[in-house]
Amino acid sequence: MIAFWGGLILAGLAMLAREVYAEDRSQARSMVISKYGIVATEHPFASQAGAMILAQGGHAVDAAVAANAVMGLVAPMSNGIGGDLFAMVYEAKSGSLYGLNASGWAPAGLSIDRLKSKGISSMPQRGIHSVTVPGAMDGWDKLLGRFGRMKFKEVLAPAIRYAEEGFPVTEWVSETWLASEPVLQEDANASRIYLPQGRAPRVGEIFRNPDLARSYRQIAEQGRDAFYKGEIAQRIVAFSERQGGTLTAQDLAEFSSEWVEPISTSYRGWMIYELPPNGQGIAALEMLNLMENFPIPEFGHNSTQALHVLIESKKLAYADLIRYVADPRFSKVPVAEILSKDYARQRARQIDMAKANPQVESGKPLQIGDDTIYLCVVDREGNMVSLIQSNYMSFGSGLVADGTGFALQNRGGLFSFDPGHPNALMGRKRPLHTIIPAFMTRDNLRIAFGIMGGWNQAQAHAQFVSNIVDHHMNIQAALEAARFTKMTFEGSDVQMEARIPAQVRADLEAKGHQILLRGDFSSQMGGGQAVLRDFATGINYGASDPRKDGEAIPEPLLERQVRN
C-alpha cells in the first residue's frame, strides 16, 4: 500500500505515512527525513560530497556544485563540464525562486549553409559540428557568485580527490558505459580516457581520470576564466580547429549564462514551476493544464482512464513543444498563450476518451537523447536547489579535447535543419533543450524535483506531480511509481513499465495504444530525485529513484570546520 500524506496534502501540516499496513506497502524505500540538509543525486559519492559540504556550513548551492562536479566524474557519459546546465534556487529568507539558464550557444561561424556546403543534409548528431559552447561551468560560477558561501577550491575538492585516487564503477553507470564503447572508440582521446583497458570499466573496477582532476584544479585556482579564456579554452579551440570545426576563442570568452524568471501554472491547489524556453518545461505545464480538465483522482492511479488522459495530453503538449519552442532571443515563443487555462480547455476537447489519437499536429520530430543527471539539495535553513546537467547523448559528441578529461556535448544535434523553423540552426543561438529542473509549492511545502531522460522529462514531471497531488503519494512513492513514456511525437506507440496491471494495458490497447512493455524499473522512464521542505515544522525530506544508482543522503553532524 503506497504511503499517503493525508494531513500534509489537506492541511500542509505534519508529513506522516500511514501506519496501518505499512509493512505491506508497495513503496520499496522510505524517505530520508532530517532537520538538517539533504542531498539527492544519482550516485552515493556525489550525494555524500554535497552532504559533507553542508556539514561544513555550505549553502545548498555549494553542495549542488560539489555534487555536480563529482557526477561529472562518476557518470561521465551523462554529464560534465563539457555540457549544459539549468537550475532553480529557492531562497528561504526571501521566499523567492530564481532560474538559471546555462545552456551554450552555437559557434558564430556555424550555419545551415556552411554545413550544406560540406555535403551535410541534416543536423549532425555526433562529431564536431554537433558541439555547442558548454554552459555548465559558467552556470556553476553564477550560482556560487550569487548564493554560495564557498569558493571553487572547496567545492571541487571531493571531485578532485576521487578523480586522482579513482572510484569503483557502479551498476547502472557500467551498463551505459558499455553501450557507449562504439562511440568512444571513434576518438583517440575519448578512447584513451574512457576505455582504459581497451573497454568500458566493469562493475566494481576502479576508474581514474587525472586529466579531469587537472582541469578541476585549474578551475579551483582560476575560476571560470580557466575554462572560457585560459588553457582549457585553448585546448578546446585547438581541438575544434583540428577537427574542422568552427568554434573560436571568442565563442567561449563571450558566452554568459542568464538568470531567467521561472514560468508556472496551478494544478489543483499547487503551483508548479519550470524554466522558460529554450527548454521543454513548458510542455510539462501544458500537460498539467490539460489533465486538470479531467477527474484524474477519481479515475485512480495508473487506471485505464487516467493513463489514457495523460498519454493523450502528452501528445498535444509535445506537438506545441516541437512547433514553438526555441531560443526566445531569436524567436517569439507564445508562452502565455500556451499556458492559458482557456487554451487548455480548448485543446482538452480533442481528447477522445474512447480511442487513442495517432496523429496530432506537430513539427518534425528531432533526434532523441537521454543522457542527463538530475540532483537536488535542501539545506538546514530551507534553501533549495533543483539542478539538471547533461551532455545530451551518451558522452555527447563523442569527442574529448586533448588533456581536458571531459566529453564535449552534442546539444547542437537538437537544432532544426529547416531554415524556416523557429529552432533553426544559427550562430550564437541556443538549441531547443530537453533538460528541465522543476519546483512545486503549496502552503508551507516546497518540493524541488526532476526526472531526466531526453523527451521523457516533461511527461515524467507531469506524472510525478499527479502522483503527489492527485494520488497523495509521498515524494519517494511518487518517484518509484510505475511510469509510461512516449519518446515519439506521432503515432500511438507508448512504453510502459511491467508494474502497470496487465488488464489496464489490455484496455489501453483496445483503445488503440500500441504498448511496448519494459521492465519493472526501466531506465527508459528516466531517473529522478526530490527533496521537500515543510516550513511549518522545519523538517526536510529526501527521495531517490531506484531506476538509478543514487541515494538521498542527509547532512552528517560534524564539528563546524573553520574555512580559510
**Model confidence at 37: pLDDT above 70:** yes
The Cα–Cα gap between 247 and 380 comes to 43
Bridge partners, 372 (sequence order):
390
**Model confidence at 364: pLDDT above 80:** no
Summarised one tens digit per residue, pLDDT across range 179-204 is: 999 999 999 999 999 999 999 999 99
**Model confidence at 369: pLDDT above 80:** no
The Cα–Cα gap between 55 and 39 comes to 11
pLDDT of res. 418:
93
The Cα–Cα gap between 191 and 157 comes to 26
Residue 80 DSSP SS3:
coil
Percent of the chain with pLDDT over 70: 93
User: What does the block give as the cell for 266?
Assistant: 496551478
Q: b or e along 105-123 (b: 16 or more beta carbons within 10 Å of the residue's beta carbon)?
A: bbbbebbbeebeeeeeeeb
User: What does the block give as the cell for 91?
Assistant: 531562497
**Model confidence at 54: pLDDT above 50:** yes
Q: Start-end ranges of CATH 1.10.246.130 in the chain?
A: 6-35+286-367+452-554
Summarised one tens digit per residue, pLDDT across range 288-337 is: 999 999 999 999 999 999 999 999 999 999 999 999 999 999 988 899 99
pLDDT of res. 98:
98
Q: Which residues contact 393 (CB under 8 A, 6 or more apart)?
A: 125, 126, 367, 369, 370, 371, 410, 413
- Going by pLDDT thresholds of 50, 70 and 90, the confidence category of residue 562 is very low
* Count of other CB atoms within 10 angstroms of residue 250: 12
- Going by pLDDT thresholds of 50, 70 and 90, the confidence category of residue 25 is confident
In 333-442, where do the E strands start and end?
371-378, 384-392, 399-400, 407-408, 438-442
Mean pLDDT of the residues in the chain: 92
CA atoms within 13 A on the CB side of 531: 37
**Model confidence at 367: pLDDT above 90:** no
List Cβ<8 Å contacts ≥24 apart for 354-358: 354/511, 355/511, 355/512, 356/308, 356/311, 356/312, 356/492, 356/508, 356/511, 356/512, 356/513, 357/312, 357/315, 357/492, 358/490, 358/491, 358/492, 358/512
pLDDT of res. 366:
36
The Cα–Cα gap between 468 and 268 comes to 11
* Amino acid (one-letter) located at 33: I
Summarised one tens digit per residue, pLDDT across range 464-480 is: 999 999 999 999 999 99
pLDDT of res. 61:
98
Summarised one tens digit per residue, pLDDT across range 81-130 is: 999 999 999 999 999 999 999 999 999 999 999 999 999 999 999 999 99
The Cα–Cα gap between 225 and 223 comes to 6
Do 511 and 356 contact (CB within 8 A), yes or no? yes
- Going by pLDDT thresholds of 50, 70 and 90, the confidence category of residue 560 is low
pLDDT of res. 22:
53
Percent of the chain with pLDDT over 90: 89
Q: b or e along 188-201 (b: 16 or more beta carbons within 10 Å of the residue's beta carbon)?
A: ebbbebbbeeeebb
pLDDT of res. 17:
37
DSSP letter at 498 equals T
**Model confidence at 7: pLDDT above 90:** no
- Going by pLDDT thresholds of 50, 70 and 90, the confidence category of residue 65 is very high
pLDDT of res. 460:
97
Summarised one tens digit per residue, pLDDT across range 428-458 is: 999 999 999 999 999 999 999 999 988 999 9
pLDDT of res. 238:
98
Summarised one tens digit per residue, pLDDT across range 137-171 is: 999 999 999 999 999 999 999 999 999 999 999 99
**Model confidence at 9: pLDDT above 50:** no
- CATH classification of 6-35+286-367+452-554, choosing from 2.30.110.10, 1.10.246.130, 1.25.40.80, 3.40.50.11540? 1.10.246.130
Residues annotated catalytic, as ranges: 372
pLDDT of res. 5:
41
pLDDT of res. 559:
64
pLDDT of res. 2:
37
Do 43 and 70 contact (CB within 8 A), yes or no? yes
Phi, psi of 559 (to 5 degrees): -65, 135
